[in-house]
Chains A and B, each alone.
Chain A
Amino acid sequence: MTNTHVDYQLSQLDQLEAESIHIFREVAAEFEKPVLMFSGGKDSIVMLRLAEKAFYPAKIPFQLLQIDTGLDFPEVLETRDNWVNRLGVRIVVASIDDAIANGVVIDDGKTSRNRMQTATLLDAIEENGFTALFGGGRRDEEKARAKERVYSHRDEFGQWDPKMQRPELWSLYNGRIHAGEHMRIFPISNWTELDVWDYIGREQIEIPNIYFSHQRRVFVRDGMLMSETPLNPTREGETVEERTVRFRTCGDITLTGCVESTASTIPEIIDEVSIAKLTERGATRGDDRFSEAAMEDRKKEGYF
């Protein structure tokens, strides 16, 4: 047996973990069909770890859902498969290309992949009858998220109404929904980017290796370093060169930039994050840079 804490004090990381486990169990107990939104990024991996702990030694009592944009980093998909195999969970993959082929989503050449992702997600929710979706959103990421509840209600159209949010008190979560509605659940709402890294370090869990420093052929676009890939052809005037980089988030390969970095271990990443000058979104997410209210707009439409 391990001896716990003689002074009955829990470290902040242990408190965050306990709160997240509590949320996972609460949802599993009260919702008919929860599902965990798995992007393969570090936040969703931390969620998966917490879910593993919440139900151990039983298996995680719900499936994973991934939206396949067709633009994912291969390294991310590899890590995803390792996790899924180790935990023995089922994963539902909803692909944007299938949704386009089936006419669920219209690709008019003007709509961004991001918008189509939302439509594909909402369709997958409807088709599978999911009633609760775990997401890896954190309140420190962005101003609009700072006011979002742990249980965030979505109407039949998947929309979020920031003015109609339910009060959320103590650790008493209200999971009531009507038919056709669903709840987005954010079990790591109170974690910061540093907490996530501390936890990955402490738990020694596998994350995609693109988070660590490596050599990559990149080019500069809109002030960001983008990966060379056939999915994202270079435009006139853009030159590709090899640099030592790492990614701070794992999103759409055509929109997610990397940063020059030699951080190749978790302690080095933690050092780097502690003195970072830009938020992870501001630095490397093209999709969030369009306007200050960009995130809020996309959330209202049903994006995470």
Chain B
Amino acid sequence: MSDSTQSAEPRATNMDLLRFATAGSVDDGKSTLIGRLLLDSKSIFEDQLEAVEASSVSKGYDYTDLALLTDGLRSEREQGITIDVAYRYFATPNRKFIIADTPGHVQYTRNMVTGASTADLGLVLVDARQGLTEQSRRHAVILSLLRVPHLVLAVNKMDLVDWSQEVYDKIHREFTQFATKLNIPDLAVIPISALAGDNVVNRSENMSWYSGPTLMHHLEHVHVASDRDLVDVRFPVQFVVRPKSDEHHDYRGYGGMVAGGVLKPGDEVVVLPSGMTSKIAGIDLFDQEITEAFPPMSVTVRLEDDVDVSRGDMIARVKNAPAPSQDIDAMVCWMTNSPLKPRQKLAIKHTTRTARALVKDIQYRLDVNSLHRDQDTKELGLNEIGRVQLRTTVPLLCDPYSKNRTTGSFILIDEATGITVGAGMINSSS
């Protein structure tokens, strides 16, 4: 038997990662498209494909329904629809992809918000025959609210409109016009046929008028590393590492994930909320000392002075630190049946800090289809999004969500049931 600790040349050491969220209305072809991406990138195993072929036959279909590859839980299989976020994985030689597959219907807005929260890119599907619908606009609105930096509009079922450039152009035009009202830094509109495979992985022979990239090519090359904030140092302290062993008697380090900026030994830093200053003595990544730490690395930071630092604190730069605040103005997506109302008290989790929050006011409810601000409603129902003022029991160390998706986000928890009931994106704090 061989030695079990062989060294290996890693496949592609610098293979990077793209997380993307998909959205589409029922029957736009989302599951077929994902099945196609998995199949054409050879991420489907034979036993999975055989199971799907067998179910397709038993259902009396003429072709293998790729959509069956991606539906998970039995209740969903029975209803034949996707009702929760499902995660899928595939890789090409230089990039690994994590798909957050989210349901499109308005009653699942919270699932879409969830899927979009971690996405670098949002993929919205439309049926070329129907063009832009209220649903597709809503999907774009949600992705933009969640500050997903890249958006792809995939115009699907081009085979059913005779591969018509006119149809594509019209959808493209309408969408670009609508997108000016939103925050979409990068947009690509790609005509495809998920069923036939045109412009998914392989370039279409039916649409020579289209000169842009295939969907897969776009996913493989979209540049995401620069989407992170590398300027403003934000290090939420997660865990205090104190070995209390003879060997590391005086070791005291602060474990956490870098949320923004680049940390270096020697940097002058401030610890919030206390406001005490010190210098970074060293940064450890397991048993190595490193010269720089940047998002999203999990590291352990040591300080020169013996200042009092605990979980929930934040390390930032002396001249660039968030102002601690108890008054939070945020867009909140409500995720549970009983509505959010003023004067309600909830638990709030922001970075590594947990506090209680009082709902002071609900300013308006945002109609995610029309972007209309409804100022008459004074509550938020399930799947509704609105602008909310909160007062917290302790100061939060936050940034606007538009600046930093980590230090600008929070979740709300019902204190009695323990359930996550809301997701918030901070506009400002004062």
Measured CB to CB, the residues of A under 8 A from B are 1-5, 7-19, 21-22, 25-26, 28-29, 52-59, 79, 139-140, 143-144, 146-147, 162-163, 165-172, 174, 176-178, 189-190, 192, 194-195, 198, 200-202, 204-209, 211-214, 264-267, 270, 276-279, 282-283, 292-293, 296
How distant is B16 from chain A, measured CB to nearest CB, in Å? 6
| Given pairs A56-B284, A174-B418, A208-B4, 6 additional interface contacts (CB within 8 A) | A3-B291, A29-B311, A53-B286, A212-B2, A265-B2, A266-B7
Query: Are B46's CB and A25's CB within 8 A?
Result: no
Residue of A140, A162, A209 near B1 (CB, 8 A) is: A209
Query: Are A28's CB and B420's CB within 8 A?
Result: no
Bound complex: CA of A19 vs CA of B85, how far in Å?
Answer: 19
Measured CB to CB, the residues of B under 8 A from A are 1-2, 4-11, 13-17, 45-48, 51, 70-75, 84-89, 91, 95-96, 98, 110-111, 113-114, 117-118, 225, 228, 230, 238-239, 241-245, 247-248, 251, 255-257, 262, 265, 284-294, 296-298, 300, 311, 335, 347, 349-350, 352, 405-406, 409-411, 413, 418-420, 423
Give the nearest-CB partner of A283 in chain B: B47
Query: Are B88's CB and A279's CB within 8 A?
Result: no
Query: Are A22's CB and B257's CB within 8 A?
Result: yes
Given contacts A21-B298, A209-B4, A270-B11, contact A169 B247 (CB under 8 A): no
Residue of A19, A26, A282, A292 near B238 (CB, 8 A) is: A26
In the complex, what residues of B have CB within 8 A of residue A198's CB? Answer: 8, 10-11
Query: Are A279's CB and B290's CB within 8 A?
Result: no
Residue of A140, A165, A206, A278 near B5 (CB, 8 A) is: A206
In the complex, what residues of B have CB within 8 A of residue A52's CB? Answer: 286
28 residue pairs from A and B, CB less than 8 Å apart: A3-B292, A8-B225, A11-B16, A13-B10, A16-B17, A22-B298, A25-B238, A29-B311, A29-B352, A58-B241, A59-B243, A139-B88, A139-B89, A146-B86, A147-B73, A170-B117, A172-B350, A174-B419, A192-B96, A202-B10, A204-B6, A206-B5, A276-B45, A277-B47, A278-B46, A278-B47, A279-B47, A296-B74
In the complex, what residues of A have CB within 8 A of residue B118's CB? Answer: 169-171
Residue of A57, A140, A172, A174 near B248 (CB, 8 A) is: A57
Bound complex: CA of A190 vs CA of B18, how far in Å?
Answer: 12
In the complex, what residues of A have CB within 8 A of residue B300's CB? Answer: 56
Query: Are A168's CB and B2's CB within 8 A?
Result: no
Query: Are B241's CB and A176's CB within 8 A?
Result: no
Given contacts A162-B73, A266-B8, contact A147 B2 (CB under 8 A): no
In the complex, what residues of A have CB within 8 A of residue B411's CB? Answer: 169-170, 172, 174
Bound complex: CA of A140 vs CA of B91, how far in Å?
Answer: 12
Given contacts A58-B242, A139-B87, A144-B73, contact A201 B406 (CB under 8 A): no
Give the nearest-CB partner of B16 in chain A: A12
In the complex, what residues of A have CB within 8 A of residue B292's CB? Answer: 3-5
Given contacts A1-B289, A143-B71, A296-B73, contact A194 B243 (CB under 8 A): no
Query: Are B46's CB and A204's CB within 8 A?
Result: no
Bound complex: CA of A250 vs CA of B165, how far in Å?
Answer: 54
Query: Are B296's CB and A279's CB within 8 A?
Result: no
How distant is A142 from chain B, measured CB to nearest CB, in Å? 9
Given contacts A4-B292, A21-B298, A174-B418, contact A55 B413 (CB under 8 A): no
In the complex, what residues of A have CB within 8 A of residue B409's CB? Answer: 169-170, 172
Residue of B5, B74, B238, B262 near A8 (CB, 8 A) is: B262
How distant is A5 from chain B, measured CB to nearest CB, in Å? 8
Give the nearest-CB partner of B117 in chain A: A169
Given contacts A58-B244, A147-B72, A212-B4, contact A169 B423 (CB under 8 A): yes
Query: Are B87's CB and A189's CB within 8 A?
Result: yes
The number of inter-chain residue pairs (CB within 8 angstroms) is 246
How distant is A155 from chain B, measured CB to nearest CB, in Å? 12
Query: Are A8's CB and B230's CB within 8 A?
Result: yes
Query: Are A174's CB and B87's CB within 8 A?
Result: no
Bound complex: CA of A38 vs CA of B411, how far in Å?
Answer: 31
Residue of B11, B51, B297 near A18 (CB, 8 A) is: B297
Give the nearest-CB partner of A28 in chain B: B239
Query: Are A1's CB and B75's CB within 8 A?
Result: no
Query: Are B7's CB and A201's CB within 8 A?
Result: yes
In the complex, what residues of B have CB within 8 A of residue A293's CB? Answer: 74
In the complex, what residues of B have CB within 8 A of residue A172's CB? Answer: 349-350, 409-411
In the complex, what residues of B have CB within 8 A of residue A26's CB? Answer: 238-239, 352
Query: Are A190's CB and B87's CB within 8 A?
Result: yes
Residue of B225, B247, B290, B350 near A9 (CB, 8 A) is: B225
Residue of B15, B70, B296 near A11 (CB, 8 A) is: B15
In the complex, what residues of A have CB within 8 A of residue B98's CB? Answer: 190
Query: Are B418's CB and A25's CB within 8 A?
Result: no
Query: Are B91's CB and A192's CB within 8 A?
Result: yes
Query: Are A178's CB and B418's CB within 8 A?
Result: yes
Bound complex: CA of A192 vs CA of B409, how far in Å?
Answer: 28
How distant is B276 from chain A, measured CB to nearest CB, in Å? 21
Bound complex: CA of A279 vs CA of B352, how far in Å?
Answer: 37
Which among A140, A176, A177, A283 has the highest number of chain B CB atoms within 10 Å?
A: A176
Give the nearest-CB partner of B350 in chain A: A172
Given contacts A9-B225, A57-B241, contact A167 B11 (CB under 8 A): no
Which among A146, A198, A264, A270 has the highest number of chain B CB atoms within 10 Å?
A: A146
Query: Are B10's CB and A201's CB within 8 A?
Result: yes
Query: Are B4's CB and A171's CB within 8 A?
Result: no
Residue of A25, A58, A140, A170 near B298 (CB, 8 A) is: A25
Query: Are A57's CB and B247's CB within 8 A?
Result: yes
Query: Are B48's CB and A282's CB within 8 A?
Result: yes
